[in-house]
């Protein structure tokens, strides 16, 4: 199945499954759905779905549960990242952030709900119990204190303090790359790949995640807010690749990593190698 068709199927699944129970709260339900209705790259769910489609395409419908789970978790992280206590951003995915549309309490609680609900969705998914446990463990391990949250803590604590390249890579491997690597590994778990194959895809995901972060830093430094769909030129105090290297060197570093990654992808099974190659070329041009 093409990536375009997988995305259409995923969006249909989002509309069907992503619902909250109604209550007398005046805007909780609307706020819960707002960031999903705004769209997004859907980069992480597409990675997961492409792995399953390449190895066990009959499992794609069931894989939608895990794909939505990781997108819910990622969206929670964006909502919290935009709060005044973090980046204080007023735009995300081309629309107002939740604390601007509503208030900080609503934004915080919607993020909390999406975090918890991502695991609830996995626990209610149509997988064998051992697969559910493996998926939940992988997402929790890479999203929490050993992964994304640690990366966020490092990013905030060392703001306006210059890090070395190795320290910068460590920060962004945790903050960004681990969830991207998790997407590939979760797809491998659903497709029942061997532990070695799962590790290889996870390691490749770390490289993709670093590439993703460098590209994001370049976008922040070179595009307008309207082009990016979020505030740009907003990371002057952050430890970014463009701040450490300068834009030209960051672009050169990105292209070097991309070329090496495209070589690594060639060893994967067809059609996964073709699918990932298309994604890399599309997102990191």
Averaged pLDDT in 10-residue chunks for the chain of 285 residues: 94 90 91 92 96 97 98 97 94 94 97 97 97 98 98 94 96 98 98 97 97 93 70 70 94 94 92 93 84
Say what the pLDDT of residue 1 is: 86
Q: What span, in angstroms and rounded, lies between the C-alpha atoms of 58 and 250? A: 41
Instruction: Show Cβ contacts of residue 144 under 8 Å, excluding neighbours closer than 6 positions.
Output: none
Provide Rg for the chain, Cα atoms: 18
Say what the pLDDT of residue 190 is: 98
Catalogue all structural domains in the chain, each as residue range(s) with its CATH number. 3-280 (1.10.600.10)
Say what the pLDDT of residue 19 is: 79
Say what the pLDDT of residue 282 is: 87
Instruction: Show Cβ contacts of residue 115 under 8 Å, excluding neighbours closer than 6 positions.
Output: 72, 73, 76
């Amino acid at each position: 199945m093409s990536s375009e068709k997988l995305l259409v199927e995923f969006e249909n699944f989002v509309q069907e499954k992503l619902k909250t129970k109604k209550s007398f709260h005046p805007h909780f339900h609307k706020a819960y759905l707002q960031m999903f209705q705004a769209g997004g790259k859907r980069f992480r769910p597409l990675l997961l779905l492409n792995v399953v489609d390449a190895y066990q395409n009959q499992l794609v419908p069931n894989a939608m549960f895990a794909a939505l789970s990781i997108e819910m978790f990622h969206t929670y992280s964006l909502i919290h990242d935009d709060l005044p206590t973090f980046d204080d951003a007023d735009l995300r995915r081309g629309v107002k952030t939740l604390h601007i549309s509503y208030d900080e309490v609503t934004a915080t609680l919607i993020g909390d709900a999406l975090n918890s609900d991502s695991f609830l969705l996995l626990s209610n998914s149509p997988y064998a119990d051992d697969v559910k446990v493996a998926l939940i463990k992988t997402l929790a391990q890479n999203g929490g204190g050993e992964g994304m949250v640690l990366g966020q803590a490092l990013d905030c604590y060392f703001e306006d303090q210059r890090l070395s390249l190795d320290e910068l890579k460590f920060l962004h491997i945790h903050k960004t790359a681990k969830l991207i690597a998790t997407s590939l590994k979760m797809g491998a778990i659903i497709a029942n790949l061997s532990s070695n194959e799962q590790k290889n895809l996870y390691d490749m995901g770390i490289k993709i995640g670093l590439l993703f972060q460098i590209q994001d830093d370049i976008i922040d430094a070179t595009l307008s807010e309207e082009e990016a769909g979020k505030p740009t030129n907003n990371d002057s105090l952050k430890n970014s690749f463009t701040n450490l290297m300068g834009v030209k060197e960051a672009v050169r570093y990105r292209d070097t990593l991309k070329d090496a990654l495209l070589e690594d992808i060639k060893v994967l099974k067809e059609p996964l190698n073709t699918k990932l190659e298309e994604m890399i070329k599309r997102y990191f041009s």
